[in-house]
Structure 1
Amino acid sequence: MHVAKLCLPAVAALAFSVPAMAQQMPGGTPSVDDQVDQLDEMVDLDEGQKAEMSNLLTQMQDKISGKEQEAQQLQQQLGEQVQPDYDEAAIRADAERLGDLTAEMTADSIILQSQIEGVFTQEQREQLDEAMAQRQEQMQQQMQEQMQQQQQGG
């Protein structure tokens, strides 16, 4: 179970944050194939696993993209409703729908993570566990270095 706790955030980060960051960069979102290739580099997937990962990621992207767009629209609408003559009912309705969308996307994410977890072998889970532990350690070191630099410079 310890492996699963560390593995799930790694898969979630790969499945969701990489495309989100890529949308901000020139060139757009990496393809499902690129995402599968990244996983393959991390844990050496076999052909069946690659096909299953590709299918899962494609289904999730299709499911999530419409919800993300709707959530962005709702956030924009809510921002536009900040005015002296506000409509409380409309604000509450939009906020409730935004909450529902967030809950749906969270559930979809957990389901995808669970499905992806089922595709990995025990050895691959261990590889991900090790990679995530190294990544977390590197991030902590970077944060400590940044804090030291700020303290020295400030």
Structure 2
Amino acid sequence: MTTVKRLSIALLMALGVTGTAMAQQGPGMAQGDQVEQLDQLVSLSADQKKELRSLMQDSEAKINEKRKEAQALQQSLSSQIGPDYDEDKIRDDAEELGEVTGDIAAESVLLQARIQDSLTEEQRNTLEERARQQREQMRQMQEQMRQQGQQQ
């Protein structure tokens, strides 16, 4: 697995940057909590904290706008279910929904890349090691569950 992929996994674990988590938290809460979590893991400087909060705030605004677009498209698609459907309209809305979903994914990945860029090499190494430890813990838990399933 490449370092970039490992760091992306680590950032996802450390920050919990998922649509559900950010959507469930109030405005501004998600980014602050995530910066504090990352700070606890890699000891961020004050400048890094400020930069990360700004990056997260910008991305969160873009993602939230795209989520609203996606919801509207999903509602439009749902409203078209019935005997008088318009196949062209359904296909157009579905295609646009795919593009919006892609934009959300791209913004999330760009945020992760920007966060990585703001960290020092030592911080990235620390984060990577933490991700490795979490993967190992997950593997051990899965192995225990598998063994318990075989015993029953």
Equivalent AA in structure 1 for residue 38 of structure 2: L
CA deviation map 1:44-76 (0-9, x unaligned): 101111011000000010110111122133234
Q: How far, CA to CA, are the matches of 2:135 and 2:128 in structure 1?
A: 11
CA shift at 1:111, angstroms?
1.7
Q: Which runs of 5+ in 2 are unaligned?
A: none
Q: Which residue of 1 aligns with 2:11?
A: 11
Alignment partner, residue 123 of structure 2: 124
For 1:36, the equivalent position in structure 2 comes to 35
Q: CA deviation at 1:150?
A: 3.2
Map Cα deviations across residues 85-113 of structure 1 (whole Å, 9 max, x no partner): 32211211111111111121122122212
Q: CA RMSD in A?
A: 2.2
* TM-score using structure 2 length: 0.84
The match for 2:66 is 67
Q: Structure 1 length normalisation: TM-score?
A: 0.83
Query: SS state of the match for residue 31, structure 1?
Result: helix
Amino acid corresponding to residue 63 of structure 2 in structure 1 = I
Q: Distance in 2 between matches of 1:120 and 1:11?
A: 11
Q: Mark the CA change 1:70 to 1:116 in structure 2 (over 3 Å): closer, same or farther.
A: same
Report if the CA contact (8 A) 2:35-2:49 is conserved.
Answer: yes
Q: Which runs of 4+ in 1 moved over 6 A?
A: none
Q: Does 1:101 align with 2:100?
A: yes
Q: d(CA) in 1 for partners of 2:59 and 2:110?
A: 10
Q: Work out whether residues 22 and 30 of structure 2, in 8 Å CA contact, stay in contact via their aligned partners in 1.
A: no
1:21 match: 21
Structure 1 residues not aligned, in runs of 5+? none
Q: In the alignment, which residue of structure 1 is the partner of 2:80? A: 81
- The yes-or-no answer on 1:138 pairing with 2:137 is yes
